[in-house]
Structure 1
Amino acid sequence: MAKVRTKDLVERFDLEIVAGHDGIHREIVKSDISRPGMEMAGYFKHYPADRLQVLGKTELSYFHDLPNEVKRERMSKICSEVTPGIIVTRGLEVPSELVDAGNDAGVPVIRSPRKTTSVVSRITNYLESKFAPFTAIHGVLVDIYGVGVLITGHSGVGKSETALELVKRGHRLVADDSVEIRQEDFDTLIGNSPPLIEHLLEIRGLGIIDVMTLFGAGAVRNHKRISLVINLEIWDQHKQYDRLGLDEEKMKIMDVELPKATIPVRPGRNLAVIIEVAAMNFRLKRMGINTAQEFSKRLTQAIETDPQEDL
């Protein structure tokens, strides 16, 4: 899991550090964000001190009505030794009591000009992305008609060559050889390439090629949601392959199950076209059109119809 420090948020979202400069290297350990309204009222029994604290218009309006002694006491408690930072939204004036408490405890006090809901949602999304479960898979990830297709298979089966043909046909390469995958939600997997080999393809006999340089910026993308897995394997004449498409395989990556299709590889088969059609067929299924099931229904109806009747 990547490490995130308060300094990273300041740089990422162009925030202003008002106080507590000594603490900008504090580590953020949770994606949850707290709005300490109950704490402003004096209830600290369940104060989540290790979260980022966000003070908006509501919290500060209540704070300004408190007696001066109470103000100093509340801000002193909010600025704990494990608090990674306190964000004041809407460009509001930061209370002097908070500035003093932040400097004393080394807690960064940061200001954003944006609305509170916008700040909370953007930072939460950023932190959840950074803290998402992570794995890496040997394969190729290509964006085909908006569908993120992960192509897997043994080394040398032709994954990279197929990806090159797909790029030539107008689709976009995301990653080759190693695909870094993070689970951003209970059913969402996002794949990207390691920075070292980003936009590169390895073609045996040819070497390393830079797809973006050869085909332009429109031939690559940095990340893509994975929706379909295509597994390439050498044709086995003793194996029975699905010919109708009624059998739906699944592949589990972390906590997410993805639809999977196995395509046998042998001379004369245009794998790029087959994978392209598989991606289009996947889109049709998501729209409620399943050709295999429709054919099965027609076949069942034909069998059940009186043989004497003209079909």
Structure 2
Amino acid sequence: MIDSLQSVIAQTGPQLKLRWLTPEPRTPRPLRGEDPERAGQSLIGSLNCIHPNRLQVIGLPEQVYLSALGSTAYKETVDKLFAERPAAVVFTDGIEPEADFRARAESTQTPLLGSPFGDQELINHLRYFLTHALAERKTIHGVFIEVLGMGVLLIGDPAVGKSELALDLITRGHRIVADDAPRFARIAPEVIEGTCPETLRDFLEVRGLGILNIRAMFGEGAILRVKTLNLIIDLQPLGPPQLDCIDRLAGSLSAMNILGVAVPRITMPVAPGRNLAILVEAAVRHQILRIRGYDAGVDFIDRQARAISMDRPDPPAPRA
């Protein structure tokens, strides 16, 4: 699990050529601060003493700025930097810290790191890595599949037919991401990304057939490693009273909260004789139109209103 400075360096160090400028800490150094009030602070960024980052990066612009400070201002800036107890200070562009800076880091037990990469290039790489590695995650029972370019999560009670429907969609050219336990992560304020646990990758369980290897049966093009979640389809065996409660114009569109993001959800009745694969494709196409700003239900209501207004007789002329 990526939760310490040492684990980040172990995974990204070879690619970014990161090296320890001070001895590597013997105990794991947490990436997130222990102060609850700073739980939302930025993990990495250029030197900032007002809104301090957990990983403070000093590149050529910051080095020029520090060098131009007078002795008093320099001391105050460095004092402020180390008083915030960053997880580490990273020097980029091959910069070597001054002796007094190194001594101050060692006295406060703050690790120093160095890299020949430019500051913005290193920040961009590490920010992308940390965003995915530390994202809030949740596992949901269902089948996650890509349909017409959209990530669709099929949910419902056990034995309702999720895997059979997924298999039908795969034979129609769509791609599966994960069966049974897709793992979702919030990688941006409104973006949920789904992946498959390594042990379950490529496999689909279909009752009566057992475990199927989709990659071996349908080829590489039937598998997708990661996809953004766009739509949830809830398969439900509904009876006549429940079907009568569904709005016949707007359908069963609602929302499901996943990791703080409202994801569109459609409740799809399951009944003998219904071609669910075609209905899922239609639901995805309908949702794509909604995203583009078109709603067939609203269009139908407007058309009926125009027809009624055209058939309405003209009001009588006012008397002279």
TM-score after normalising by structure 1: 0.82
Which stretch shows the higher mean deviation, 68-77 or 200-209? 68-77
Change (3 A) 1:171 1:19: same
Question: What SS does the aligned partner of 1:269 have?
Answer: coil
Q: Pick from 248, 253, 263: which aligns with 2:253?
A: 248
What is aligned with 1:180? 183
**Offset of residue 80 of structure 1:** 7.0
**Offset of residue 96 of structure 1:** 4.3
Task: Give the count of matched residue pairs.
Answer: 301
- 2:214 aligned with 1:211, yes or no? yes
Partner Cα separation in structure 1 for residue 189 and residue 261 of structure 2: 7
What is aligned with 1:14? 16
What is aligned with 1:164? 167
Q: 1:20 corresponds to which letter in structure 2?
A: T
What is aligned with 1:285? 290
Change (3 A) 1:80 1:200: farther
Structure 2 spans left out of the alignment, 5+ residues: 34-41, 315-320
Q: 2:43 corresponds to which letter in structure 1?
A: D
Change (3 A) 1:66 1:299: closer
Partner Cα separation in structure 2 for residue 108 and residue 84 of structure 1: 7
Q: 1:267 corresponds to which letter in structure 2?
A: P
Change (3 A) 1:21 1:289: same
What is aligned with 1:43? none
Structure 1 spans left out of the alignment, 5+ residues: 39-45
Deviations 1:162-205 (Å, cap 9, x if unpaired)? 11111221211111111222222322211222222122211111
Change (3 A) 1:102 1:222: farther
**Offset of residue 92 of structure 1:** 3.2
Which stretch shows the higher mean deviation, 272-281 or 72-81? 72-81
RCO comparison, higher one (Cα < 8 Å, 6+): 1
Partner Cα separation in structure 2 for residue 148 and residue 209 of structure 1: 21
- Contact kept, 8 Å, 1:229 with 1:258, in 2: the verdict is yes
What is aligned with 1:231? 234
Partner Cα separation in structure 2 for residue 139 and residue 224 of structure 1: 15
Which stretch shows the higher mean deviation, 129-138 or 81-90? 81-90
- Contact kept, 8 Å, 2:184 with 2:193, in 1: the verdict is yes
**Offset of residue 149 of structure 1:** 0.8
Q: 2:6 corresponds to which letter in structure 1?
A: T
What is aligned with 1:23? 25
Identity %: 30
What is aligned with 1:271? 276
What is aligned with 1:192? 195
Deviations 1:14-63 (Å, cap 9, x if unpaired)? 3321412422842211552354465xxxxxxx784x81111011221233
**Offset of residue 158 of structure 1:** 0.5
Partner Cα separation in structure 2 for residue 185 and residue 136 of structure 1: 18
Partner Cα separation in structure 1 for residue 266 and residue 148 of structure 2: 17
TM-score after normalising by structure 2: 0.80
Q: Which structure 2 residues correspond to residues 48-87 of structure 1 after superposition, within 5 A?
A: 48=52, 51-65=54-68, 78=81, 82-87=85-90
Partner Cα separation in structure 1 for residue 219 and residue 204 of structure 2: 14
What is aligned with 1:5? 5
**Offset of residue 229 of structure 1:** 0.9
